[in-house]
Chain A
């Protein structure tokens, strides 16, 4: 059966094959994989894991492979959040976890920033936006707390080898159009189960020309597409970002971790990037997207720049490009919750943050903030335009809020006008 072992494989197959200790895996087969890294946060992690571990009478198998990020319930606002965060910190001490990132930013951004992610890895995260690491050529997917417990104890997890859905964006994106718009286009076209819990691989010249922050937005919102993982083959851009994060050069293999020519895919969808316009997804689904002209003029009370999807440095810079020399409309609150401390510092250093604040933005603490609805910053009944990933009813904490999803450019433009606006008219 020599032919079977040399059959071409997609990037997803290669990543899973390595983790399964196999030369070749076929989509659809169920394999048992070794987990290189397991990430969890204060909400999904210790408060759920610790009692189960105790009940099981088991021990952490390899703490060097665990990363705890405290990002959801910080800063602590009430007794409940204080209790949850205290459990996380106490358990980290008790287990002597070597990798704990407390109030450094949102897990999906902190993980690569701190050098935990490299191409070829097979990882799980206690959070649905875990596919974000796929931007670096790592296979990472979200699991619930009980399944995480299984990984923590056994170091392994089962997986149905995914098919690959390839999405190619050829050409160049227009100015004022970003990765977020690409994802809203895909969601409107294919729906929230378009990914069919398979792997989506993003390719094409428009993707290759994106920086890592934008690539992370693509991989991140693979969760909304219903994919298990979202992957981008690593290249020189990846290498440079990882080098900055402190990953040794010989640990960055950009040649091995790409799909073979001729590997079979479930589907390939090709888009002309230049033809894509800024998008807005109406309440209450990320799949309710349409070109910005469709929602233009809808009044808003809150403009929110936040989350792993929409408050990385590139996102803040995009908003600042629109806001420089302008001011937020009267009656509109522009809230900015930077995705990480490092990014907030970088935005401070290059004047991005000043541009946002001069325009009237309110700076919120670094972290998941209102995106996960745990913070309670969005007033009831508010109409919100947000750079986050999800606008399910109640998602941002307020049961009656109406949330429109858009890119950071469009959120900024809308904040200035007090209604949904096209950012392209505001970029010089």
Chain B
């Protein structure tokens, strides 16, 4: 994995890619260079937001995010990193703190072959991009990738392109707004004046 990283692509570059789903909002579609954190299959909400810390404020709860699987994760993860997981990521409880903890830690996206249905909805509602990707498990821990979350496109250091299922536009709109709350706020503004 010593191949030099390709230069970060500009928004214009991403928009020029016919597969990128076109970007009307360049900021939202800009590719990011991200470190990959790999976890396995069936990561449950107790691993993401342990019940015994559920009474605590989010910053404290987030310190225990994935503690049972990757004790170093909460300490070492950096804003912009992405999680690549096995199937059924986020199964279990409806507690949205599971997604909130990841977002609090700065995780830029979760990529997995499949997701727990409630977690998937919660992630969108909290502005955390979630991308279904059959090849998610081919990504290595520590690998650096470029991710265009809106288009659902991953580029590896060796240039390989991995396609994910992009979020449908009406869900991306919620993610891009930063979650359902800011999205609702925007929608309510015109009528509240």
A residues apposed to B, CB below 8 Å: 30, 43-44, 48, 52, 55-58, 73, 80-81, 84, 125-128, 130, 141-147, 149-150, 153-154, 158, 191-193, 197, 226, 228, 285, 287, 372-374, 376, 390, 392-397, 399
Query: Quick one: which of A73, A84, A127 contacts B94, CB cutoff 8 A?
Result: A127
A58–B182 CA distance with the chains assembled, in angstroms = 12
Q: Report yes or no: A393 in contact with B125, Cβ–Cβ below 8 A.
A: no
Nearest CB in chain A: distance from B146 CB, A: 29
In the complex, identify which listed stretch (B3-11, B52-60, B147-155) lies at the interface while the others stay far away.
B52-60
Known contacts A374-B51, A394-B68: A149-B181 contact under CB 8 Å: yes
Is the C-beta of B184 less than 8 angstroms from some C-beta in chain A? yes
Which 3 A-B pairs give the minimum distances between C-beta atoms? A373-B51, A144-B96, A197-B117
Once the chains are docked, how many angstroms separate the CA of A153 from the CA of B187?
Answer: 12
Chain A interface main SS type: loop
Chain A residue numbers with a CB within 8 Å of B96 are 48, 144-147
Rounded to whole angstroms, the CA-CA distance of A52 and B168 in the bound complex is 25
Cβ contact within 8 Å between A43 and B54: yes
* Residue of chain B at shortest CB distance from A195: B117
State A197–B118 Cα separation when bound (angstroms): 9
B interface with A by C-beta (< 8 Å): 42, 44-47, 50-52, 54-56, 68, 87-88, 91-96, 99, 114, 116-118, 120-122, 125-126, 168, 170, 179-181, 184-185, 188, 192
In contact, B88 and A56 (Cβ under 8 angstroms): no
CB closest chain-A residue, reference B69:
A393
A395 and B46 form a contact (CB under 8 A)? yes
Contact A226 B46 (CB under 8 A): no
Report which of B54, B121, B185 forms a contact with A144, defined as CB distance below 8 A: B121
Residue of B nearest to A144 (CB): B96
Residues of A within 8 A of B88 (CB): 191-193, 226
B94 and A56 form a contact (CB under 8 A) = no
CA distance A177 to B143 in the complex (A): 49
Query: Once bound together, how far apart are the Cα atoms of A394 and B192, in whole Å?
Result: 45
Contact B55 A397 (CB under 8 A): no
Name the contact of B55 in the complex, choosing from A84, A143, A197 (C-beta under 8 A): A84
Q: Which chain B residue has the least Cβ–Cβ distance from A58?
A: B188
Residues of A within 8 A of B120 (CB): 197
Q: Give every chain A residue within 8 A of B95 (Cβ-Cβ).
A: 43-44, 144
Pick the contact of B46: A130, A153, A373 (CB < 8 A). Answer: A373
